Amino acid sequence: MAGRLEAIWVKRAHRGPMDPVTSAALVAGRGVVGNADQGRRRQVTLIEHEMWDRLMSQLGASVSPGARRANLMVSGIPLARTVNRTLRVGTCRLRVLGETRPCERMDEALPGLRQAMESDWGGGVFAEVLEGGDIAVGAPVCWDGAAIERPGPDEYGEFYAGYVARVPDGVDLITLLAEQLEATGARLAAIPESRGSFRYAPGKWSIKEVIGHLSDVERIMAYRALRIARGDATPLPGFDEDAYVPFARSDDHSVGELVDEWLAARQASIALFRNLPEDAWTRRGTASNQPASVRALAIIIAGHEQHHLETLRVRYGL
């Protein structure tokens, strides 16, 4: 999906006016040259042209998008739930780090605007500059990477077919993994500690053990993908998930600790897959005496997480 850079604003001073410009320079690790905010996590802020139009229609108003106080406005590129994705703006590369939450100054520009922006990432996103350079209004905008083609049935063992089937065709896998990082992390973190040891039947895993299992599988599948992606043809051993769980002693830890562990594992997986060369995705190896491709292992990670979220909902009432 390709988009366009529609507008650029530079904030010369803290809480100062947003000066519209037709071109600007970005510096890696710093932000927009001349902008008041430099070198922090929020190096560049971005909004969607389409989202701004939607907000104005919703509020029955016509206010300049400069009122949002963002640095860049793009069109044709949805920004919601894109944490950890890398955006190309002209020759520059930006990594999205989070959602930009609206502040009270939005209501100074238009009453009700702040509340309207609270939903569906209406305030846009903030990013760090990975690769700097010159940008200008009209520059092409696109996401790094592309949708990963669904693996064939000869790229994974039959046991994993259900997990693969849970991931839609044509999905941008890095985006999906990043969306799961945010949504699943929040869902798991909301589980009360008092329910952590709940088992829906004797002999079944506790909720804490399910979370611990998610981390185990995340690491193992990512490790397999790493070995195969690096051209290692060594057959990789299998693992017995039921044998792993008692040794993990997940019930000895808090829900929060286990969620933090899974978040760290998922962040590592995203970093691995995000930086893979294009030709690595289709490399194949052997794991558990079954065929395994890098793209199949990545999709299994996503589908496995979805499987257990459904189990937590249906069996555990979460």
CATH number at residue 187: 1.20.120.450
What is the number of domains present in the chain?
2
Burial per residue of 32-48, b for 16 or more beta-carbon CB atoms within 10 angstroms, e otherwise: beebebeeeeebbbbbb
Given pLDDT bands bounded at 50, 70 and 90, which one contains residue 139? very high
The percentage of the chain sitting over the pLDDT mark of 90, rounded to a whole number, equals 69
Are residues 90 and 238 both part of a single domain? no
The reply to whether 258 falls in a domain is yes
The 10 Å Cβ neighbour count of residue 248 is 16
Return d(Cα 62, Cα 133) in angstroms, integer: 33
Would you say residue 1 has pLDDT above 70? Answer: no
CATH number of the domain encompassing residue 60: 2.40.33.20
In a domain? residue 148: no
- pLDDT at 146 exceeding the cut of 60: no
Q: Are 136 and 16 found together in one domain? A: yes
**Residue 145: band (very low, low, confident or very high) from pLDDT cuts 50, 70, 90:** low
Distance between CA 147 and CA 136 in Å, rounded? 27
Given 91, 111, 143, the domain boundary residue is: 143
Q: Say yes or no: 164 and 233 in one domain.
A: yes
Structural contact between residues 42 and 144, judged by C-beta atoms closer than 8 angstroms: no
State phi, psi for 158 to the nearest 5 degrees. Answer: -55, -30
Residues 200, 267 within the same domain:
yes
Residue-wise pLDDT tens digits, 228-264: 999 999 999 999 999 999 999 999 999 999 999 999 9
pLDDT score of 148: 76
Cα–Cα distance, 318 to 310 (Å, whole number): 9
| Residue 128 sits in the same domain as residue 28 | yes
Residues 66 and 173 in one domain: no
Altogether, the residues listed in the chain come to a count of: 318
- Containing structural domain, residue 24: 2-143
| Confidence tier at 172 by pLDDT (50, 70, 90) | confident
AA letter at 92 = C
Q: Are residues 210 and 77 both part of a single domain?
A: no
Kindly state whether residues 127 and 195 are assigned to the same domain.
Answer: no
pLDDT of amino acid 265:
97
Cα torsion at 235, 236, 242, 248 (round to 10°)? 160
Which of 122, 143, 164 corresponds to the end of one domain? 143
User: Does residue 132 share a domain with residue 11?
Assistant: yes
Instruction: Please report the pLDDT score of residue 141 as a whole number.
Output: 94
Question: Are residue 133 and residue 159 in the same domain, yes or no?
Answer: no
Average pLDDT of the chain, as a whole number:
92
Domain final residue pick, 106, 121, 143: 143
Which token pair is 196?
Answer: 């952590």
| 100 and 47 housed in the same domain | yes
Please report which confidence band the pLDDT of residue 95 belongs to, taking 50, 70 and 90 as the band edges.
confident
For residue 238, is it within any domain?
A: yes
Q: Which pair of tokens denotes residue 268?
A: 């590592």
275, part of any domain: yes
- Tokens for 161? 């077919």
Task: State the average pLDDT over residues 298-314.
Answer: 95
| Residue 292 bridge partners (DSSP) | 285
User: Are 194 and 281 part of one and the same domain?
Assistant: yes
Q: What is the pLDDT confidence band of residue 204, given thresholds at 50, 70 and 90?
A: very high
